[in-house]
Amino acid sequence: MASRNYALLLMFFTFLTITSMAVYANNYFQHFDITWGEGRGKIVNNGELLTLSLDNYSGSGFQSKNQYLFGKIDMQLKLVPGNSAGTVTAYYLSSEGSSHDEIDFEFLGNLTGEPYTIHTNVYTQGKGEREQQFHLWFDPTADFHTFSVLWNPQTIVFSVDNTPIREFKNLGNLGVPFPKSQPMKLYSSIWNADQWATRGGLIKTDWSQAPFVASYRNFNANACTVSVNGSPGPCHTGKSDFGPWMSQNLDRNGEERLKWVQKNYMIYNYCTDTKRFPDGFPKECNA
Ligand SMILES: *[C@@H]1O[C@H](CO)[C@@H](O)[C@H](O)[C@H]1NC(C)=O
Ligand SMILES: *[C@@H]1O[C@H](CO)[C@@H](O)[C@H](O)[C@H]1NC(C)=O
């Protein structure tokens, strides 16, 4: 009896191992749908790599099959190399409807050798206007780098290669809405935005450089998924119900890294834009 239970247990653990490994193999077929672009978005290498491309006819995009309500979501991106001026690659979580929540990364291309701009925003209940922009301490087109969102009931942290670049804390106690009940899907797309993207629209897309290609690999979601009818599904941590991400906050080292990025690489912060908010900054800016 005991040995039979042991065999069952072994089988169970073998099964668990396989499912958590499956997060890495074939994961793009399993987790995403290419939603537009007529063949410009592709899942290749047995599902290990996804590419989106943009040419003078169209961009392309994909979205997750799952909806998430809290999670730690990592994706490795390699951005459009060379002259990417005028192109925008967006990578974001969003719920639906007019009072939607959204957590955004947008990568604004540039001339060869000039820095990409990482644009971030947080929408709560349909309202955004919380832009922060950064340059990076490396060339994001030379290789893959990990862009992550930690989203739990206490905080939202944007990270690049595990270095936090932005935090949006839950300040519900001060009356600042926080995304905590609307499940979000993960989206990404590439499109032409040369009216505004590069140096405020001064530099246009050079179509002779097309197609512009962004690549994605090693998607990893330690997240709570929500089924289509809206009921909470399991939290896929690979181990137990919730991973440590559910209660994670920035530790001291994280705080220090965040300060380092904000001091050296932040190029725009809505919380210091007095022209835009002459009557005082949004509440979260003073917290
Ligand atoms: C798109 O680019 C191709 C190749 O450079 C060119 O032949 C074609 O005319 C362009 N089409 C449009 C709609 O601009
Ligand atoms: C492009 O490069 C210029 C010059 O270095 C820089 O000011 C700008 O922030 C960069 N990014 C974009 C998207 O314009």
Query: pLDDT tens digits for 138-164?
Result: 999 999 999 999 999 999 999 999 999
8 Å CB contact between 235 and 229: no
For residue 184, which phi and psi values (nearest 5 degrees)? -125, 150
In the reported structure, the alpha carbon of residue 55 is separated from the centroid of ligand 1 by a whole-number distance in angstroms of 9
| pLDDT tens digits for range 3-48 | 444 444 444 433 333 333 334 445 899 999 999 999 999 999 999 9
- Check 38, 48, 96, 102 and give the catalytic one: 102
pLDDT category of residue 287 using cuts at 50, 70 and 90: confident
pLDDT category of residue 228 using cuts at 50, 70 and 90: low
pLDDT at 18: 31
Confirm or reject: Cβ of 207 under 6 Å from ligand 1.
yes
Among 213, 217, 194, 208, smallest CA distance to 40 is for 213
Confirm or reject: Cβ of 206 under 6 Å from ligand 1.
no
Alpha-carbon 224 to chain mean position: 16
pLDDT at 232: 58
Listed in order, strand segments (DSSP E) in 39-116 are 41-44, 49-54, 60-64, 67-78, 87-94, 102-108
Q: Which residue ranges form the domains of the chain, and what is each CATH number?
A: 2-286 (2.60.120.200)
Match 């932040």 to its residue by tokens: 266
User: How distant, in Å, are the alpha carbons of 81, 189, 266 from that of 214?
Assistant: 8, 9, 23
Residue 150: CB atoms within 10 Å: 25
| Residue 38 falls in the annotated catalytic set | no
| pLDDT tens digits for range 67-115 | 999 999 999 999 999 999 999 999 999 999 999 999 999 999 999 999 9
Query: Would you say the pTM of this structure is higher than 0.85?
Result: yes
Strands 102-108, 117-123: parallel, antiparallel or unpaired by DSSP? antiparallel
Taking the C-alpha atoms of residue 177 and residue 285, their distance in angstroms, rounded to an integer, is 13
| Residue 106 falls in the annotated catalytic set | yes
For residue 286, is it left (φ>0), alpha (ψ between -120 and 50) or beta?
alpha
Residue 159: CB atoms within 10 Å: 22
Question: Residues near 156 by Cβ (< 8 Å), separated by ≥ 6?
Answer: 103, 122, 149, 150, 167, 168, 169, 179
- Check 106, 129, 131, 256 and give the catalytic one: 106
In the structure encoding, which two tokens stand for residue 223, read together? Answer: 């997240």
